[in-house]
Structure 1
């Protein structure tokens, strides 16, 4: 990396625009920044750091106050740096976030941070040629090109004021944190955490397996009823339980077999006794049935007589039903005669021959009217034609009047149509201009409407950004406060970890007479970690909120620039007028085809109207002639039809009346004939009914009807008699069967004693079966549990060994257990890096101290068992003893710190990939050195120029200003600092 030019304005103490030409300053490879105290020498280094990373080193970066307080409001705070990195020349421009007066109104507004990267000699192929404008993209690109983080840059390229001795005098913890940031050894910490987590996981797995073994042992003990022995006797205890369960199973099965045979014998005896008891019961039941049937013989005979009389009355009942049916037919015929006589309006007692003659006369009169019916139908048709001719003649006359009126107005309509066509053509030409203007106004109106929302979002984003800044600052303050409180309560925290009999990690004593008491406001390491994580999250939220505010400001500026002097109400009014005009023009232009077609139709309609009038007048004359002839024919026919209708509405009505009268008279004749036939049949059936009763054996018809029974009663009698006969036959058959032959109905069986013996035997056999089943189940359970327990023992042994090995390895990796130096893996790697730093720093320290001092790295454990590996002392060649770095004097501390910083820079540069660092800045107090020592330091700095490297020093020591030919002087005034190049 080589710097070329630096420009800054309103930055730090520099009120106006300033420019630094590093190409001229670095001509000899060494230059000096000098000036009065507070003039702004370190600010130039801050400007370089800010241009690259957007932050400044040291405590100044925590304040976030980079704008010059005396700068003019219109002067923007900006830093521009042009440099070459990895063969790419680029220009970086950055502006910090700051408050500026509002352009309109009172108060201040937040100017968001900005950043841009421009390629001077062409962009790399993987990056956009137009450059970058997003802060995060610029930061990632710079970090990739430089190959180091901002912490590494401040330690390698820009050695900040007051930071040299911090690393030299820091304790192990602080030195570890700094080295970890510089060398990126977080992955080794992740390895340590991986071992711890893996040990914890395997511990949980081993505990699960151990718990499974304990549960299986408890289950075996529960099933067998025996308590397990010690760990050494568990295998033998398990074998004894298995053998005992097998013996118990064999004994239970033998007892079950014996009792099962006894139960079978008792059940056989019970079956035989039950069969004998059943035979005795059947004999007794058959005798009882025959005796009961004999006692009810009289009732049974009455049932038979009742059934026989009902069967003999069946023919009489059939004749009775036929007579009743004939009687109903006679009554129906009599009613039909009365109804027919009422409809005929004639004497119902007249002779049948007279009624038939009257009906024939009516039909002959109706036949005489048949020839007039077609003429009546034709008369209806002709009357409709006369009405239709009259309507058509009237419609044609009205149509003629209408066509004459249209012919008179046609010239004026043609003239108006031509004017409408011309108007539509003009609207089509005007429409394009109005549409273009409407689109322009719509875009401006949309911009005007977006502006208030964008301004609100800007205000909200500004508030959120300020809140994020305040929250971040509060988080940093909270972190600092917690760190201070934890240091105050460290003794109590150590005391909380002490246990009786265990050595103290500080003094090594196993006795703790007066352990530290907790302070009122003590904190834990977890509290400090939580506060650090919260501060990092607050920083991320701050960066995000700041970027959002910057994007919102850019959006508002773009909208304001596009809008210009236009205002939303004026734009809305003008756009509404343009839309109305556009709609009217579109409507008019869309009617051009229709209007043209209408004009053509009007021009062509003149001839059509003349032709239509001629045709219409000819048709009216013909219709009038045809109408007159048809009226004459209708009048003549009407005179003939009037005589045939008489008093009826039509010929058809009169003829229908005559036919209906004849039909009714004929129906009366038929009804009287049917009534006479029914009276004759009634007399015949009464005689047949009396003869049927005598033939069936009854005295009269009434006696036969009294013997009638329903089908249900007959079925009941038949069923009861059949049941009695079946019961008697069944009882006699049972007594005569070979199975019951010789069975005494009064014999005693003894069934209860056999039943009781069978029940006792069955219960004993069931108890034995249950005991055998439980013994078998217990033996299977014990065998299965034993198999699982042996498998669990086989898995637990290797798991315990593996966990013990993993636990020992995790302790070693984390600096405990068999690790004699108490060094974790991360500390070991950092110790190797620190040893490289000590070797590189010793070469410069020996030269600057004229061979007296050398750095000594120690990886031994600390006092009282504390972790080691990052010890750094100084070997004094004068005394030959190693002494702590804190015992060095002020000048010696500067030499040691500068050597350590340069050595650290060399190692970090090699660690980042060996990137070529052509520029180095050193901002430190050279005033603590005497003349000889200063000569040695200058010789060392001269060596740094080898290979074209440029070294910039910041100091107000006069001797250095005299020795360095090229220097940049900073002059301080009340209005701001200025720069002056001197040789």
Structure 2
């Protein structure tokens, strides 16, 4: 991978478009990126990272605030990078998401993030020739071409010295986090997790199998009715099975004996039951014959009563029919008398005439009533027409009054409709103005809040300026003190070396064993004092940087607030905001009535149309009703004259016709009643003569005697049944006494059945109890055998499962750094330890060169203190003393050498691990200020070696001495309007 050109616009501190030509900078293979603190040196590296991956390294990537605060609102934030990867040249352009002022109105809008990738030349196979515009697809394509992730790129290409200094001093957990990000050992962590989850799963399965065994043992104990022992389970099972078999055999013997006793008792009971039954039958037959003998006279009376009832049956039937004929005659005679009285009361003549005369008179009156039927219909129509006349008069009057009322209502409606429409227009206009006024209110409220917090921001800015000045002074003082100590230490270095000389021992400088004139010891400055002063200088510098950043932030906050206020005071804003809110309240109330007013206008319009239609209909209804009333009134008067003439002496024609119809009906009823009465009298005489003849033939003197001898059907059936039962009972009793098996049996004999029944029941209950016991013991034996078999199967399945789980448990502990794993290293830590060992080997080659062969990295895979995880130990071997010392004991310059060596070694290992593209461009960020001149020469020699093969190395530093050593430079200038870049040295020439 080689970088060619970088363009940044409104990014970080760069307000306008700035261009970095890496082809020009990389002509010598080594260039310097320098400038004042906070000018934006590291931002250029962030821009490279952002163009490739859409994010920036370190803590800066967590802020996600990349736009320049000093950039013009219309200038878009953009980063463009041209580079060559795997022989293909491409251009990547990205814009982050940021907030910009709205082009119309006040407030801010979100500018969405964008990304594009285009090819300068032929695209790689399988990729679109017209480029890529989706953000996620651009990131995936870049990562695939580079062969490394963003985390790996930040460690391999943008060497962050601060992070590797922390890496040197970190514990195992912190080193593990960084190495995991770089080497992607997540698959080994997944393997550890897989082993743990598999062990958990197998453990649950094993526990389920053990639980099954425990359940079978508990069920066997429940069947055996005793507690299972904790050990020697097989002996207990054998003993239980033997005792169960003995109990079954004993129950079988007891069952046989009880069954034999039950059979003997049942035989005795059956014999006594038969004897008792014979005695009972003889006794019952004898008692039945004695009772029948006592009722012989009573049965003779039943026979005489039954014979007289059968003779009287023919007479009672005819007598009953004669009684019914008498009732019919009485009814016909009463009906005739009632009709005659009604006719006399109505004043009708000739009611005592013959039937033929009465029927002729009824015919004459019927003809007269028929003639009046047509006039009755006209009379009914006359009543309906009179009612219709009244309804028409009322309708005409009501419709005329309704038309007048509707006309009065229509007079004021147009003016009211006009007022409602005008008010609706005002409400609609208020609704349109409401949104703009709300935005104006929000802008004024925000401005007022800014105006109120401006004094506090100005005070904070003043305090930040004072703090910055104090921090600058403190840093200068600390730096002067450090330089003074270094000068004093260099001046007294000879005395310091002389203090370590011993007679007969060679000098560390010249090698001579003679020390003729060792330097005198004056006030010496030791290494610890110099290191403490350096740490104080570094702390002061950090505080200075923090103070400068805080002052810049406070100034930006004040400038942003002043720009938004545009010279408006808090009093002006408060007054304007009050006016706007009053107007907003007024317009809000008016706009809220818009929907209601719109409904009122539509209702008024609909009401006007409805009233006009109703008035027209009312006027039409009044005219029609009046015309119909006049026409109908003429018809009613003419018809009334005809009806008055036909009514005669009655109230109307209907009444006269009804009278005639009623008289005709009564006359016909009288004729029918007289005819029926004559016929009923004749039938009654015939039936009376027949009854008297039948009584004499049945042997009765009178009809009343026959009636007395008659009996009901139920009584006759009762007498017949009683006589038949007596005859049957006598025959049955005699047949029983004649049976051969009852010969010699006396009704006075006594048989004891109860004692035999009690003995049989006792024997039966004992036999049933013995059978139940046998069944229970047999079932218990079967259950026990089944449970023992299932327990054996469960134990057979449990044994291999326990062996498998024991092996898996031990292996899981080893993979996860526990159990038999003496080094307490998990699989992931083991892999990372191997990678760290490779890094240590690669870094040692450069560290020994930079430290003149004094230092080398030592990797340790020993377990940590108190049994904690190990494998990621990294110490430093000091060849001067021959001891391995912690990296934390290195001085500031030595820590920089170790960090740089570690970063370069890690870059080589990661690049080889990922198989990514060849890295032709490399950046080293800061850290050179801690080196002395000689060490700096060594470091520069190592960096010169990195240029081999056409690689370009960029150094990011503000160390002045590097400007003299490196002719190719890119300077970053800082100003109030934004940072800028400028080529210097050989490039500018």
TM-score by length of 1: 0.65
Report Cα offsets for 1:655-690 as digits up to 9, x if no partner.
xx9999999999977866665554444334333322
Number of the residue aligned with 1:249: 248
Number of the residue aligned with 1:120: 118
Residue 837 of structure 2 aligns to a residue whose secondary structure is helix
| CA spacing shift, 1:119–1:976, aligned 2, 3 Å | closer
Number of the residue aligned with 2:693: 691
| CA spacing shift, 1:770–1:819, aligned 2, 3 Å | same
Residue 817 of structure 2 aligns to a residue whose secondary structure is coil
Report Cα offsets for 1:247-273 as digits up to 9, x if no partner.
221221122012101101111110111
| CA spacing shift, 1:34–1:208, aligned 2, 3 Å | same
Tell me if the contact between 2:101 and 2:109 (Cα under 8 Å) persists in the aligned partners.
Answer: yes
Number of the residue aligned with 1:92: 93
- Tell me by how many angstroms 1:98 deviates: 6.4
Cα distance in structure 2, aligned partners of 1:228 and 1:659: 114
Number of the residue aligned with 1:859: 861
Correspondence 1:195-206 to 2 at 5 A: 195-206=195-206
Tell me if the contact between 2:66 and 2:96 (Cα under 8 Å) persists in the aligned partners.
Answer: no
Cα distance in structure 2, aligned partners of 1:942 and 1:328: 154
Report Cα offsets for 1:74-131 as digits up to 9, x if no partner.
37573412223643523323346469799867xxx66647432123338886679585
Cα distance in structure 2, aligned partners of 1:933 and 1:703: 167
Bigger Cα displacement from structure 2, 784-793 vs 887-896: 887-896
- Tell me by how many angstroms 1:356 deviates: 5.5
Number of the residue aligned with 1:42: 42
Number of the residue aligned with 1:771: 773
Number of the residue aligned with 1:30: 30
| CA spacing shift, 1:98–1:357, aligned 2, 3 Å | closer
Cα distance in structure 1, aligned partners of 2:666 and 2:178: 135
| 1:964 equivalent in alignment to 2:962 | no
Cα distance in structure 2, aligned partners of 1:975 and 1:229: 91
Cα distance in structure 2, aligned partners of 1:363 and 1:959: 158
Number of the residue aligned with 1:836: 838
Number of the residue aligned with 2:168: 168
| CA spacing shift, 1:84–1:111, aligned 2, 3 Å | farther
Number of the residue aligned with 1:183: 183
- Tell me by how many angstroms 1:904 deviates: 0.7
Correspondence 1:51-70 to 2 at 5 A: 51-62=51-62
Tell me if the contact between 2:11 and 2:79 (Cα under 8 Å) persists in the aligned partners.
Answer: no
Q: 1:908 aligns with which of 899, 910, 917?
A: 910
Tell me if the contact between 1:358 and 1:662 (Cα under 8 Å) persists in the aligned partners.
Answer: no
| CA spacing shift, 1:662–1:18, aligned 2, 3 Å | closer
Tell me if the contact between 2:9 and 2:78 (Cα under 8 Å) persists in the aligned partners.
Answer: yes
Tell me if the contact between 2:161 and 2:899 (Cα under 8 Å) persists in the aligned partners.
Answer: no
Number of the residue aligned with 1:5: 5
Tell me if the contact between 1:837 and 1:900 (Cα under 8 Å) persists in the aligned partners.
Answer: yes
| CA spacing shift, 1:671–1:959, aligned 2, 3 Å | closer
Residue 120 of structure 1 aligns to a residue whose secondary structure is strand
Correspondence 1:280-295 to 2 at 5 A: 280-295=279-294
Correspondence 1:393-472 to 2 at 5 A: none
| CA spacing shift, 1:85–1:112, aligned 2, 3 Å | farther
Cα distance in structure 2, aligned partners of 1:930 and 1:779: 96
| CA spacing shift, 1:221–1:322, aligned 2, 3 Å | closer
Cα distance in structure 1, aligned partners of 2:960 and 2:663: 159
Cα distance in structure 1, aligned partners of 2:967 and 2:665: 156
Number of the residue aligned with 1:589: none
Number of the residue aligned with 2:791: 789
Correspondence 1:943-958 to 2 at 5 A: 943-958=945-960
Number of the residue aligned with 1:650: none
Report Cα offsets for 1:370-394 as digits up to 9, x if no partner.
9x9xxx9xxx9xxxxxxxxxxxxxx
Cα distance in structure 2, aligned partners of 1:446 and 1:276: 123
Tell me if the contact between 1:323 and 1:682 (Cα under 8 Å) persists in the aligned partners.
Answer: yes
- Tell me by how many angstroms 1:285 deviates: 1.6
Number of the residue aligned with 1:18: 18
| CA spacing shift, 1:668–1:46, aligned 2, 3 Å | closer
Tell me if the contact between 1:85 and 1:145 (Cα under 8 Å) persists in the aligned partners.
Answer: no
| CA spacing shift, 1:851–1:285, aligned 2, 3 Å | same
| CA spacing shift, 1:783–1:209, aligned 2, 3 Å | same
Residue 748 of structure 2 aligns to a residue whose secondary structure is coil
| 1:809 equivalent in alignment to 2:811 | yes
Cα distance in structure 2, aligned partners of 1:807 and 1:915: 43
| CA spacing shift, 1:190–1:452, aligned 2, 3 Å | farther
Correspondence 1:336-415 to 2 at 5 A: 347=350, 350=353
Number of the residue aligned with 2:152: 152
Residue 270 of structure 2 aligns to a residue whose secondary structure is helix
Tell me if the contact between 1:359 and 1:665 (Cα under 8 Å) persists in the aligned partners.
Answer: yes
Bigger Cα displacement from structure 2, 328-337 vs 173-182: 328-337
Number of the residue aligned with 1:296: 295
Number of the residue aligned with 1:419: none
Q: 1:848 aligns with which of 847, 850, 857?
A: 850
Correspondence 1:924-939 to 2 at 5 A: 924-939=926-941
| 1:759 equivalent in alignment to 2:761 | yes
Q: 1:710 aligns with which of 709, 712, 720?
A: 712
| CA spacing shift, 1:665–1:38, aligned 2, 3 Å | closer
Tell me if the contact between 1:85 and 1:146 (Cα under 8 Å) persists in the aligned partners.
Answer: no
Cα distance in structure 2, aligned partners of 1:115 and 1:322: 121
Report Cα offsets for 1:700-758 as digits up to 9, x if no partner.
22222122322222222222333333222222222222342321212221212212221
- Tell me by how many angstroms 1:779 deviates: 0.5
Residue 801 of structure 1 aligns to a residue whose secondary structure is helix
Q: 1:874 aligns with which of 858, 861, 876?
A: 876
TM-score by length of 2: 0.65
- Tell me by how many angstroms 1:798 deviates: 1.0
Cα distance in structure 1, aligned partners of 2:906 and 2:179: 9
Report Cα offsets for 1:162-196 as digits up to 9, x if no partner.
22322222222211111011112122122212222
Tell me if the contact between 2:132 and 2:138 (Cα under 8 Å) persists in the aligned partners.
Answer: no
Residue 83 of structure 2 aligns to a residue whose secondary structure is strand
| 1:978 equivalent in alignment to 2:980 | yes
| CA spacing shift, 1:845–1:98, aligned 2, 3 Å | farther
- Tell me by how many angstroms 1:802 deviates: 0.9
- Tell me by how many angstroms 1:856 deviates: 2.9
Cα distance in structure 1, aligned partners of 2:834 and 2:663: 142
Residue 45 of structure 1 aligns to a residue whose secondary structure is helix
Cα distance in structure 2, aligned partners of 1:954 and 1:253: 105
Residue 163 of structure 1 aligns to a residue whose secondary structure is helix
Cα distance in structure 1, aligned partners of 2:363 and 2:225: 123
| CA spacing shift, 1:313–1:187, aligned 2, 3 Å | same
Number of the residue aligned with 1:401: none
Q: Which runs of 5+ in 2 are unaligned?
A: 379-427, 447-583, 603-647, 650-655
Cα distance in structure 1, aligned partners of 2:661 and 2:903: 144
Cα distance in structure 2, aligned partners of 1:663 and 1:99: 113
Number of the residue aligned with 1:922: 924
Report Cα offsets for 1:499-528 as digits up to 9, x if no partner.
xxxxxxxxxxxxxxxxxxxxxxxxxxxxxx
Bigger Cα displacement from structure 2, 145-154 vs 817-826: 145-154
Residue 971 of structure 2 aligns to a residue whose secondary structure is strand
Residue 793 of structure 1 aligns to a residue whose secondary structure is helix
- Tell me by how many angstroms 1:820 deviates: 2.3
Residue 952 of structure 1 aligns to a residue whose secondary structure is strand
- Tell me by how many angstroms 1:876 deviates: 4.2
- Tell me by how many angstroms 1:810 deviates: 0.7
Report Cα offsets for 1:389-421 as digits up to 9, x if no partner.
xxxxxxxxxxxxxxxxxxxxxxxxxxxxxxxxx
| 1:780 equivalent in alignment to 2:782 | yes
Cα distance in structure 2, aligned partners of 1:254 and 1:348: 115
- Tell me by how many angstroms 1:808 deviates: 0.6
Correspondence 1:516-531 to 2 at 5 A: none
Residue 768 of structure 2 aligns to a residue whose secondary structure is helix
